[in-house]
Structure 1
Amino acid sequence: MTTRLTGILASVTFFLAVLCGLAFLGTAVTHMLDDGAVCVQTDFWRNASLGPDGLPVGEGVKASSSAARLCQDDPSVGQRAADLGGRLPWLLFGALALLLFSRLLKAVLLRGPFTDVVAHRLTLLGWSVAVGTPLAGLVVGWSQSWLVGSMAPIVGSGPTLSGPLVLVLAGLAAVIMGRIMREGVRMREDLEGTI
């Protein structure tokens, strides 16, 4: 029963990883080929007075201070790419994390839960989550900051770190558990060697 459930979970996570990867590629292609407006929301501009004596905005930019929203009707390639920088990193991060989790579950199915391969894959998944979460958050923050700066040329909100940063703790916990499992595997091998 547990083996069947682990196999189903491994298949589902692999399917979700492929789905996230396809969403990543589809979003990138369709968004770069789109000719619509690019909008960004920032709390830095909320309730600012816009107009002749207020904060300046770039040419062709529609600004709403109450919604803290800036929209560029005819965006440049750089602005369109920066808008993608606010969406794609999390899709790529999700696809990678799900793929690594699927490989971990397959190793559990093929070799058992307390093996060196499983410990190694758990550690790899942990490091990927612990490093990937802030990295994706920084890319999203930098992209949004650059996009705001390109639409309102004086000062933007500055780069921010976005996303569920609690995942860093989960990733570090997985790294620690992988190390503990690796030591347990070595102790078991030493014990089997002495008997």
Structure 2
Amino acid sequence: MTSVLAVLCGLAFIGKGVTHILDDGAVCVQTDFWRNASLANSLPVGAGVKASSSATRLCQDSPSVGQRAADLGGELPWLLFGALALLLFSRLLKAVMGQGPFTEAVAHRLSILGWFVTVGTPLAGLVVGWSQSWLVGSMAPIVGSGPTVSGPLVLALAGLTAVIMGKIMREGVRMREDLEGTI
């Protein structure tokens, strides 16, 4: 089942990229820069950019290639991260089903999955944050918002937990092998 989900996430990644490249519609981005500001009609936005009444949503009707790529960079990293995490999880489950839960292969694959989630979560969040920050900056040049990290960063803690559990399982496998050798 997880293999099917991984493939579906991969297909969603490819489909989203292809349809977004072929799309010629507006590119929109959400920003909280002006959330508490009281701006009338003098919003510091670029030419061709439409702002919502609260000035938290900016849309460019005829975006440049860079703006379209930055908009794509706000969506694709999490799809790719999800597809790869599900693929690694599928390999972990396959090892559990084939060899049993307390084997060196399972401990190794659990550690790999943990490191991937630990490093991949903030990396995907940075790519999304940088893309959105650049997109806001291209639509509203006066806004100097720096790159942000978006997404569920608590996943990094889950990844570290998986790394630790992989090390504990590896030590348990060694202890079991020593015990089997003694008996």
Q: 2:63 aligns with which of 75, 79, 101?
A: 75
| Contact persistence 1:45–1:65 (CA under 8 A) | no
Q: 2:2 aligns with which of 1, 13, 37?
A: 13
Structure 2, unaligned runs of 5 or more? none
TM-score in terms of structure 2 length: 0.95
Residues of 2 paired with 1:17 and 1:64: CA distance? 37
Runs of 4 or more, structure 1, over 4 Å off, are none
Range with bigger deviation, 158-167 or 111-120: 158-167
Shift of 1:59: 1.0
How large is the RMSD of aligned CA atoms in angstroms? 1.2
Q: How does 1:125-136 map to 2 (within 5 A)?
A: 125-136=113-124
Is 1:87 equivalent to 2:75 in the alignment? Answer: yes
Aligned to 1:153: 141
Give the total of aligned pairs.
182
Residues of 2 paired with 1:13 and 1:60: CA distance? 44
Aligned to 1:112: 100
Residues of 2 paired with 1:161 and 1:106: CA distance? 33
Question: Structure 2: which amino acid aligns with 1:165?
Answer: L
Structure 1, unaligned runs of 5 or more? 1-11
Residues of 2 paired with 1:15 and 1:93: CA distance? 15
Residues of 2 paired with 1:48 and 1:83: CA distance? 27
Q: CA distance change for structure 1 residues 48 and 21 in 2, over 3 Å: closer, same or farther?
A: farther
| Contact persistence 1:42–1:157 (CA under 8 A) | no
Aligned to 2:32: 43
Question: Structure 1: which amino acid aligns with 2:164?
Answer: I
| Contact persistence 1:58–1:153 (CA under 8 A) | yes
Question: Structure 1: which amino acid aligns with 2:129?
Answer: G
TM-score in terms of structure 1 length: 0.90
Residues of 1 paired with 2:68 and 2:127: CA distance? 15
Shift of 1:128: 0.6
SS for the counterpart of 1:44 is coil
Question: Structure 2: which amino acid aligns with 1:29?
Answer: V
